[in-house]
Amino acid sequence: MSHAIDFERTVMQRHDADTGECIFVATVVDGPDAGVAITLDGSQPSSLLVGQSPACALQLTDREVSRRHIALEPRGTLLHVRDLGSTNGTYLDKVKIIEAELSGGEVVRIGSTRLRIERRPEPAAAPPKLDAFGRVLGSSLEMRRLYPLCGRLAQSSIPVLIEGETGTGKELLAESLHEEGPRAAAPFVVFDCTAVPANLVESELFGHERGAFTGAVSARRGVFEQADGGTLLIDEIGELDITLQPKLLRALERSEVRRVGGDRSMKFDVRVLSATRRNLDHEVQAGRFRDDLFHRLAVARIELPPLRRRRGDIPRLARAIWASAGAPPEELSDMLLRQWSDYPWPGNVRELRNAVVRRLALGELAPSPASTPEPIESLEGELVRGVLEQILAQNLPFGAARQRVLEAFERRYVERTLAEHGGNVLRAAAASGVARRHFQRVKSRSLK
């Protein structure tokens, strides 16, 4: 299977069954690094990378391989492979792939390297039967395999990069890492790189002295000073302007900041966590995020799975949100829970929370693919904005940029509709209100 569609469908099936994880081995069978191998046993909290960069779990010397070429992640009985925007592409047999689900026995080609993927017969060790870490709830396999590492990370001070789609609980996990650790009594400060205008980011981060710039009527502490002794979460780190990245790196390396307009450096003792919705490997690969800063921030990485890949957690989360709103548990019907469990939740747990709260306040029906479309702001607005920003950042001429937006939309539309209809083109076309041949044409050009 080498299709995003098949991948969605397979993932859903697997999570309904909640089967155990498999162990995969990726071995270089051809190329300058022949004989090198890595084992993926599902206990890793994020994908493992293959490429020339030292950040990669499987570091290759092949000059035709990009620094971060592909990411590998075991998902139950399958191994998920994702190209990270490599220069020379990723091939399965002769087919160029963006992402694919492998079951073992395949050979993946990157540059002049061929990687053989094998699935071991024995199952991976099951993660402990925990159903929460701090305030982060979930007993799906996807979540349980993160908890042991979260527990260890909470006790340490090493920088952690938390990745995941919007609303998957990145900020909540950061808070829980803080609350479960020795710094719990000290401040937890969040700095969102997208929340302040670009020209004020530096003074928000490092503080400023009185008169440092027009409008600086009094001195102000930056977030590092505010978080001293505690934890700082730098949210949306992928959006930090490239010109500010060396300054942040220097502050982290020296554990000291100098306020804008100031002439002395101040030491700080801050545990730094960062979060991103973007794929930072991709950003590094594209030269938009500095590799050295990435290494500083991502000493450990945790990737939070989207809610659609852990549907088993939906009833538990819905019940917890329902109870926290003070509503009687018996009023939450099984039918409603079933409807919620079937919905794809593009806005993840945040969207589920909003749906539960709306239901309690207004008695609204559960969302379903056939229900009235949500306003874009509350549904996929943030995802859409992310895609638009990425395209705008390429500074293309108007026509080419519009074409990219259209292609991104068509691809996502086709993927989702097919996933909702079990990969059946006829039914997906009917649901989209277009002829099968037209749907097939759009599918062929957008998922090639």
Binding site for ligand ATP (CB under 6 A): 136-138, 164, 166-172, 275, 277, 317, 349-350, 353, 382
**Closer Cβ to ligand ATP, 329 or 433, answer by number:** 329
CB of 117 to ligand ATP, least distance (A): 31
Q: What gap in Å lies between CA 438 and CA 429, rounded to an integer?
A: 8
Per-state percent for the chain, helix, strand, coil, to nearest 5 = 40, 20, 40
CB of 110 to ligand ATP, least distance (A): 30
Contact in structure between 80 and 98 (CB atoms under 8 Å): no
Q: What gap in Å lies between CA 162 and CA 181, rounded to an integer?
A: 17
CB of 416 to ligand ATP, least distance (A): 19
| HEC per residue, 58-100 | EECCCCCCCCCCEEEEEECCEEEEEECCCCCCEEECCEEECEE
**Closer Cβ to ligand ATP, 84 or 317, answer by number:** 317
CB of 445 to ligand ATP, least distance (A): 31
**Closer Cβ to ligand ATP, 171 or 179, answer by number:** 171
Nearest to 408 by CA among 424, 394, 423, 421: 394
Token couple for 150: 């979260």
Which residue's C-beta sits nearest to ligand ATP? 169
CB of 139 to ligand ATP, least distance (A): 10
Q: What gap in Å lies between CA 394 and CA 92, rounded to an integer?
A: 28
Place of tokens 């075991």: 74
**Closer Cβ to ligand ATP, 129 or 264, answer by number:** 129
**Closer Cβ to ligand ATP, 228 or 236, answer by number:** 236
**Closer Cβ to ligand ATP, 12 or 150, answer by number:** 150
Q: What gap in Å lies between CA 269 and CA 3, rounded to an integer?
A: 47
Q: What gap in Å lies between CA 217 and CA 55, rounded to an integer?
A: 44
- Positive or negative, the CA dihedral 421, 427, 432, 437 is positive
Q: Would you tell me how many other CB atoms lie within 10 Å of the CB of residue 318?
A: 22
**Closer Cβ to ligand ATP, 195 or 406, answer by number:** 195
CB of 381 to ligand ATP, least distance (A): 10
What stretch of H or E contains 350?
Answer: helix 348-362
CB of 333 to ligand ATP, least distance (A): 21
Q: What gap in Å lies between CA 170 and CA 164, rounded to an integer?
A: 7
**Closer Cβ to ligand ATP, 132 or 266, answer by number:** 132
Residue 383 backbone phi and psi in degrees, to 5: -65, -45
CB of 301 to ligand ATP, least distance (A): 15
